[in-house]
Copies of this chain bind each other. A is one copy, B any other.
Amino acid sequence: MRYELHYWPGIQGRGEFVRLALEDAGAKYRDVWRESDRMSLHREAFAPPCLKAGRLVIPQTANILLFLGPRLGLAPKNEAARLHLHGQQLTIADWVAEVHDTHHPIASSLYYEDQKREARRRSRIFLAERLPKFMRYFEREVDVKLSYVHLSLFQMIEGLRYAFPKAMRKIEPRYPRLVRLHDRIAKRPRLARYLASERRIPFNQEGIFRHYPELDAR
């Protein structure tokens, strides 16, 4: 199966959670919007990312990973295990949305500069309350057996380090299992090659993880 990923070409964003799974599994895929000028969204999708697999068109990041997981060897095939991992992935999706809203608490359609005051307030509470709550949950609940959830947790830690370097330096020592998981994932051969390649878009100020020093811890 040759997959087609439809996602914004200039950012990692939510598409990156899908790319990491495809890359780690060595799957064949086309990153369609990066390879052409055309960025048309399938009508089935409310927003990108969207995966095309043969005749199937699958919207929503976590839904794509639910589908890909067993096919890429990144999730067991039985229903109980799939629901368990999917529940964790949906919690990561909530976490991602909260990270996005630290810099865009009022509207995605407004510039950061036009909601900076609100972003400061939201970020302060995110770093004090929400970030530790998510980290604590995954520190306790992350499974031993490799799955796409591990790849997504790797990406969360990478992104959070980019966005909030000071806050992360402070709190990471409290979550040794997550840090070890991150380091282990980074060394997986196919993934390491991907991360060093031009296919890995660098973090930047248009993505979900953005670095505004004024939003970080002191």
Q: How many residues of A contact B (CB 8 A)?
A: 42
Taking CB as reference atom, which chain B residue is nearest A138?
B46
Are B105 and A43 closer than 8 Å at their CB atoms?
no
Are B118 and A105 closer than 8 Å at their CB atoms?
yes
In the assembled complex, the CB of A149 is this many whole angstroms from the nearest CB of chain B, namely: 13
CB of A67 within 8 A of chain B? yes
Are A129 and B107 closer than 8 Å at their CB atoms?
yes
With the chains together, A137 CA to B60 CA distance in Å?
Answer: 14
Are A44 and B122 closer than 8 Å at their CB atoms?
no
Taking CB as reference atom, which chain B residue is nearest A110?
B125
In the assembled complex, the CB of A89 is this many whole angstroms from the nearest CB of chain B, namely: 9
Q: For window 73-108 of chain A, which residues contact chain B by CB distance below 8 Å? A: 79-80, 83-84, 86-87, 90-91, 93-94, 97, 101, 105-107
